[in-house]
Amino acid sequence: MKFNFLNIKQRYNLKDYKFSLVALVTTISIIGIFVVGSAQASVQGKQIAGVVMGTIAMIVISLIDYEWVLNMYWLLYGVNIVLLLAVLFFGENINGATRWLNLGFVQFQPSDLTKIITILFFAKFLMEREQAINNKKTIIQAAALILPSLILIYKQPNLSNTICLATVFCIMLYMGGLSYKFIGTVLAITIPTAALFLTIVVQPNQPFLKDYQQARILAWLEPEKYATDEAYQQINSVMAIGSGQLSGKGYNSNTTTSVKNGNFISEPQTDFIFAIIGEELGFVGCCVVIILLLLIVITCILIGVKAKDTGGRLICGGVATLIGVQSFINISVATQIFPNTGISLPFVSYGMTSVVCFYMGIGFVLNVGLQPNKYQ
C-alpha cells in the first residue's frame, strides 16, 4: 500500500482522523508545560520543545501506514536491543543509574522508545501467530523475545520501567487471544510467587534487589520508621496533595512551605509532578488530569475496536495499556499506594524523550484510526 504525502484524501478520509484524541493529548500536554514550569522554571523551555517535536512526530507518523512499519518489526527489534546495549556499555550515569545516552546535543533515554517498539513488535508477532497464540511454542518464543529488553532495562537499574514493560507485554498477550485457562494458571502461580518474593526481599542480605530498592519497599511498609530518609519524599508528596484541598494554593505558588520552594521533594518536575498538581491545582486539578488520561486511554481502545486487523487492534490496546499503567504507577507512588519508584506521568512530567515517545505512540493509534474496518 503506497503512501502519498501530497494527496492525503486520496488515501485517507479526513473525517476518520481522530481530532478528539489530538485535542485530549494537546490539552494535557499544555497543563504539563505549565506545571513543569512551576516546579522548575529552568526546564520549561525544554518541555515546550519536547511537546513541539512530539506533535510533529505524531502528525508525520499518523500519515504513515502502520502495516508498512509493522513489516519491519524484526529490524525494530534489533534497533531496540542495540540501543539498550549501548546504554549498558556507553550510557551516562546520573544519580547512580545508567539510563541515558549522551548524544552531545541532547540526552536520550532508550527505555522510553523500547516501550513503543515493543508494542509494534508484538502487534506484528502476535498477529502472525493469532491462530497459534495458545501453543506452548508461541508463548515460549514471546517470553524469550521480551526477556532481553526486560533484563537490560532492569540492569540500568530501572525496576519501574521493567515492571511497566512486563505489564504491557502480558496484557498484549491477553488481547492477542491468550486463553483464560492459561491466564488462570499463570495467576495461580504468579500471585503466591509475588507474595513469597515480597517476603524474601525485606529480609537482610536478600539477593534480588539493590539496597536502595529494598529500602524503598521497607519505607513503603513502615513509613514512620523511615520518615526522615527513604519515606521522606512520599510523605511530603501526600501532605502536599492534601494541602491543596479542593482548588489548590494557586498556580506557581510562592509560599515557602510549598513542596517546590521548601525542597521537600527532589526533582518535583519529573516523578512527583502529581504532588505539584495536587498542591497548586487541588483536588479539582488532580481530577482533571486523571480524567484526561482516562479519556485518552478510552479513545485509544475505541479506535482499536474499529481497527481493520489484529495488528491495529494490538497497537491501540498496547498504547492504551502503556499510558494507563504508567499513569497508575506514577500517581500511586505520589500518593504512597506503591513504593517509591521513578517513572514519569505521561504527557505531563518533564522529559523530552518520554514526551516524544508517547506522542509517537499516539501517532500510530491515529493511523490505525484512519484505516477502519470499512477500508478492508
| Every domain of the chain and the residues it spans | 9-192+229-375
- DSSP classification of residue 91: P
Q: Which residues contact 124 (CB under 8 A, 6 or more apart)?
A: 70, 71, 73, 311
H/E element, 115: helix 110-128
Which pLDDT does position 257 carry in this prediction? Answer: 65
Q: Is the pLDDT reported for residue 184 higher than 50?
A: yes
Which pLDDT does position 316 carry in this prediction? Answer: 97
Q: pLDDT: is 311 or 219 the higher one?
A: 311
Which of 218-222, 240-244, 310-314, 356-360 is least confident?
A: 218-222
Overall average pLDDT of the 139-166 stretch: 93
- Residue 9 confidence class, pLDDT cut points 50, 70, 90: very low
Q: CA distances (Å), 329 to each of 101, 103, 343, in order? A: 25, 29, 7
3-state secondary structure of 343: coil
Which pLDDT does position 330 carry in this prediction? Answer: 95
Which pLDDT does position 228 carry in this prediction? Answer: 76
∠ CA(75), CA(80), CA(85), 5° rounding? Answer: 125
Which pLDDT does position 374 carry in this prediction? Answer: 59
Cα–Cα distance, 108 to 123 (Å, whole number): 25
Overall average pLDDT of the 225-240 stretch: 84
Q: Is the pLDDT reported for residue 27 higher than 90?
A: yes
∠ CA(301), CA(307), CA(311), 5° rounding? Answer: 95
Pairing state of beta strands 92-94 and 97-102?
antiparallel
C-alpha Rg value of the chain to the nearest Å: 21
Closest CA to 118 of 165, 82, 84: 165
3-state secondary structure of 90: helix
Residue written as grid cell 532481553: 148
Which pLDDT does position 6 carry in this prediction? Answer: 41
Q: Which residues contact 135 (CB under 8 A, 6 or more apart)?
A: 129
**What digits encode the pLDDT tens for the residues 96-113?**
778 888 887 778 899 999
- Residue 63 confidence class, pLDDT cut points 50, 70, 90: very high
Cα–Cα distance, 129 to 176 (Å, whole number): 9
H/E element, 4: none
Which pLDDT does position 324 carry in this prediction? Answer: 97
Q: Is the pLDDT reported for residue 264 higher than 80?
A: no
Note whether 350 and 46 are within 8 A (CB).
Answer: yes
Which of 34-43, 251-260, 317-326 is least confident?
A: 251-260
* Side-chain-facing half-sphere of 5: CA atoms under 13 Å: 3
- Quick count: other Cβ atoms within 10 Å of Cβ 68? 12
Which pLDDT does position 174 carry in this prediction? Answer: 93
Which pLDDT does position 3 carry in this prediction? Answer: 43
